[in-house]
Amino acid sequence: MCKDQNLRKTLLAAALSMAILHPGQSIANDLPVIGNSSSAISLDQEYQLGQTWARIFRGSAKEFGDPLTAHYIDELLWSLAATSQLQDHRLELLILDNPTLNAFAVPGGVIGIHTGLLLGAQNEAELASVIAHELAHLSQRHYAQRLEEARSNKPYLFAAILASILVGASNPDAAAAGISSSVAATQQANLNFSRRMEQEADRIGMQNLVAAEYDPYAMPDMFSRIQRSTRFIGQKPPEFLLTHPVTESRISDAQNRARQLPKPAYKKQSFTFDLIRKRLEVDYSKDIRQSVNTYRASADSSPPDRYGLALALMRNNQFSDAMQELSKLPSNYRNDLYVKLTATEIMLAAGQTERAVSQLRELDKLYPDSYPVRMTLSRAYTRNRQFEEAADLLEQLSQNYPNNSHVWYELAESYGQSGNTLGVHEARSEYFLLNGIVDKALQQLDFALRDQNLNQSDRARLEQQKKEAEAVRDAIKSL
């Protein structure tokens, strides 16, 4: 994305946030008119706001496309949501391709996770503690509470919180960074949640951890880890600390609470966190040969490091060696779905597309409707020039994951390769809408409507999609 586009998206997000509270402003299409309201924002209003904000956010921040990582975090989020105090379970997960340590929640159930959070946590419980904390902010409706405070005291407080999330998470270029600096200079004192709300999110989040059978001490342990990461001279503090300040007293409070809560009867033995963490380590490695040497030195004593070694060898184009390392893993690792999918990834990288397709089909039978299996299989079909088969799978995924921009992007590509012109326009329109690029979405629908051979059903569907796209455009342009 070019500099001007980054700047436009950041300004637009800031405008969306500011318009929420600016007297006389309104947001079209059922988004809340809050400035003159005498009642608190409703859950549905929060949801509509979050959906519009998420569209703008996707167009400014790079999402992480690895289906295994996305599936793992999504499963963890929903397992914690099941034991949370959420009233509205319409959740939207955004995974940002950003190695900084950060997570955030936005009104309307939007949860953002930086990949750096998985690199900073040492185990699944620590990662879960941060997600549980963010879910607590949503379940206790702290944003609505802050909105009420902002309406009577500081009219731009809530707006600054939302704008700062985008600026901090999207990592835009120097032009947008200038906005970030000025926002920080004037609003920094107001960006943090009140101490009371942070304490409440810690308390409720820790109760959620215990209900989900995680060790409550994971939360103070993670807080301590975050705090220690800022003690190196000259190191920029994690983005998480800008909106969630961690102090010694907060860590002590969390430790005291943990002492009063029961530890789980048994410790979860899942090693999936370790596998995903290795995927990220290899993905962000700047010296893959050094990574190979590092993992090789510890592979015999650490199955996760052997898995990391296989990934590093694959990235270094040593495909046979990579497969050999996977074969050396203990049986419980070899039988794990993620390891089996990694084997097919190595096959695809080595050009063994038919073998990969065959194995992925078997996995699809064993794990029906699995997102990582079907995304990997669709990519294998594409590599094997089976474009219609790829499109069929992606169509199913688009129904199950309608807000997944990666699915719509790859579906448009598959339609293009299989000669489905109408499908290309519709999939591209959905992709652009999800990324807040409404003009291009409407352009794709106009292209589709020019086809003189459209049947009545297709034309009616396209007209309805155009109305929905225009509604999104009007909601943004009214700011």
Q: Which residues are CB-neighbours of 449 under 8 A, at least 6 positions away? A: 459, 462, 463, 466
Mean pLDDT, to the nearest integer, of 140-165?
59
Collapsed DSSP state (helix, strand, coil) of residue 112: strand
Q: Is the CB of residue 426 less than 8 Å from the CB of residue 465?
A: yes
Which pLDDT belongs to residue 393?
97
Query: In degrees rounded to 5, what are phi and psi of residue 30?
Result: 75, 5
- Written as one letter, the residue type at 109 is G
Is the confidence at residue 36, as pLDDT, over 50? no
Q: Which residues are CB-neighbours of 89 under 8 A, at least 6 positions away? A: 81, 109
pTM attached to this predicted model = 0.85
Mean pLDDT, to the nearest integer, of 211-234?
81
Give pLDDT tens digits for 362-397: 999 999 999 999 999 999 999 999 999 999 999 999
Residue 234: which pLDDT band, with cuts at 50, 70 and 90? very low
Mean pLDDT, to the nearest integer, of 154-163?
50
Which pLDDT belongs to residue 119?
95
User: What does the longest C-alpha to C-alpha distance in the chain come to?
Assistant: 70
- Looking at residue 268, what DSSP letter applies? -
121-135, 172-186, 288-302: least confident range:
172-186
For the chain, give the mean pLDDT: 83
Cβ atoms < 10 Å from Cβ of 323? 18
Which pLDDT belongs to residue 231?
54
Which pLDDT belongs to residue 266?
67
Mean pLDDT, to the nearest integer, of 221-239?
68
Residue 182: which pLDDT band, with cuts at 50, 70 and 90? very low
Is the confidence at residue 181, as pLDDT, over 90? no
Give pLDDT tens digits for 434-450: 999 999 999 999 999 99
63-67, 90-94, 153-157: least confident range:
153-157
More reliable by pLDDT, 382 or 174: 382
More reliable by pLDDT, 319 or 264: 319
> Of all residues in the chain, what percent carry a pLDDT higher than 70?
76
Mean pLDDT, to the nearest integer, of 79-86?
94
Mean pLDDT, to the nearest integer, of 40-54?
81
Which pLDDT belongs to residue 149?
61
Is the confidence at residue 354, as pLDDT, over 80? yes
> Of all residues in the chain, what percent carry a pLDDT higher than 90?
61
Sequence ranges of the domains in the chain:
3-259
User: What whole-number distance in Å separates Cα of residue 252 and Cα of residue 51?
Assistant: 37
Could you report how far apart the first and last alpha carbons of the chain are, in Å? 23
Which pLDDT belongs to residue 164?
57
Pure H helices in 140-194: 142-152, 157-170, 174-191
Side-chain-side CA neighbours of residue 196 (13 Å): 4
Residue 52, CA distances (Å) to 47, 108, 112, 180, 267 in order: 9, 10, 15, 21, 40
Q: Which residue has the tokens 């719509």?
A: 408
Ramachandran bin of 449, using left for φ above 0, alpha for ψ from -120 to 50, beta for the remaining angles: alpha
User: What whole-number distance in Å separates Cα of residue 155 and Cα of residue 141?
Assistant: 18
More reliable by pLDDT, 283 or 171: 283
Helices and strands per DSSP (H, E), number in the chain: 25, 3
State the DSSP string of 328-380. TS-HHHHTSHHHHHHHHHHHHHTT-HHHHHHHHHHHHHHSTT-HHHHHHHHHH
Cβ atoms < 10 Å from Cβ of 317? 11
Residue 479: which pLDDT band, with cuts at 50, 70 and 90? very low
269-306 burial string, b = 16+ CB within 10 Å, else e? eebbbbbbbbbbbbeebeebeebbebbbeebeeebbbb
Which pLDDT belongs to residue 189?
36
Give pLDDT tens digits for 246-270: 778 888 888 999 999 988 876 666 7
Mean pLDDT, to the nearest integer, of 179-194?
41
**What is the enclosing helix (H) or strand (E) of 172?**
none
Collapsed DSSP state (helix, strand, coil) of residue 102: coil
User: What whole-number distance in Å separates Cα of residue 292 and Cα of residue 306?
Assistant: 10
Q: Which residues are CB-neighbours of 124 under 8 A, at least 6 positions away? A: 76, 214, 268, 270, 272, 273
Mean pLDDT, to the nearest integer, of 293-322?
98
Please, is 237 exposed, middle or buried when counting C-beta atoms within 10 Å of its C-beta (0-12, 13-18, 19+)?
middle
Q: Is the CB of residue 169 less than 8 Å from the CB of residue 112?
A: yes
Give pLDDT tens digits for 91-136: 999 999 999 888 988 888 999 999 999 999 999 999 999 999 999 9
Is the confidence at residue 90, as pLDDT, over 80? yes
State the DSSP string of 279-316. HHHHHT-S-HHHHHHHHHHHTTT-HHHHHHHHHHHHHT
Cα dihedral 201/204/205/211 (nearest 10): -170
User: What whole-number distance in Å separates Cα of residue 351 and Cα of residue 374?
Assistant: 19
Please, is 125 exposed, middle or buried when counting C-beta atoms within 10 Å of its C-beta (0-12, 13-18, 19+)?
buried
Q: Which two tokens stand for residue 309?
A: 């070694």
Is the confidence at residue 204, as pLDDT, over 60? yes
Residue 57: which pLDDT band, with cuts at 50, 70 and 90? confident
Beta strand pairing call for 92-96 and 103-106: unpaired
Which pLDDT belongs to residue 346?
98
Which pLDDT belongs to residue 42?
79
